[in-house]
Amino acid sequence: MNCIFGSSDDALIASGRYEYFLDRELQPIEERWRLYRRQRKLWLDSERYVSSISLRLSARAELVQGEITRCLVSWVDSGLRVSSAIFTRESDSSARYFHRPAGQPARSYIRSERVFFPLLRVYTGLALGGILSRGADTGSGHSARVLIPWIKDPAQKGKLLEPSTATRTAIPRQCSFPVFPDHASNIPLGASLDCYQYSGEQYGDDTRFWVADGLLHAYRWNQAGRDWMIRLTDMQGQWPGRFSSSLL
């Protein structure tokens, strides 16, 4: 995994990976993440590798007070960079987004979305936190416009990682942790899981996310009649809660 903004002096705090099941079959998708401390900032990087198509999708983000202030997202196909994007938070209501497809000049965008989700699963808790704290109150939950790099059609290489907006709604629910095919829960001892209904565009009302202290532990999503289940495993180190300043 490449180091994007960090340095060799970064101190590892925690790491883990996500496993993907489709219709209860384990998929050849490897998604690892690492959390570092550098001075008084945290850096979170993650990479999804799909071996069947030689695809690597990576993101590395600088975190300040539990929010992404800078992030580099890259799409690499068969070892060749196809597209990259850089997100920079400039104020509470403004961000700059640079998008550069391979072989083309970079384009710069000013964005007003207050929540950014850089595609990798470990950033889900940060996005949920942003929706719940900054989104509009719907009565039962919260809804917000979320800035998301575009990946809907990988064949359109010139559009990959363009800035796109989606409305996402998060609603707290009471629900049991999903049973995976091998019946292993991988819930850390003492973890207090919150369950959320997460909806918008491809996510129907039956989508569920399980989060503990801002870290995604599992989710379940029905995509066109097919059942996706994702879980956190191989957790090492200590996840620093909800990134309060006292933990930095």
CA 74 to chain centre: 13
**pLDDT, position 227:** 95
> Domain ranges in the chain?
14-235
**pLDDT, position 188:** 58
Q: What is the pLDDT along the chain (248 residues), one digit of tens a residue?
A: 444 444 556 799 999 999 999 999 999 999 999 999 887 789 999 999 999 999 999 999 999 888 999 999 999 999 999 999 999 999 988 999 999 999 999 999 999 999 999 999 999 999 999 999 999 999 989 999 999 999 999 999 999 999 999 999 999 999 988 888 886 666 655 568 999 999 998 899 999 999 998 999 999 999 989 999 999 999 999 888 754 433 33
**pLDDT, position 244:** 41
**pLDDT, position 149:** 98
The answer to whether residues 211 and 217 touch, using CB atoms and an 8 Å cutoff, is yes
What one-character DSSP code corresponds to residue 80?
E
**pLDDT, position 189:** 57
CA distance 137 to 154: 34
CA distances for 28 relative to 48, 49, 53, 82, 156, angstroms: 10, 8, 10, 21, 23
**pLDDT, position 9:** 64
CA distance 41 to 73: 19
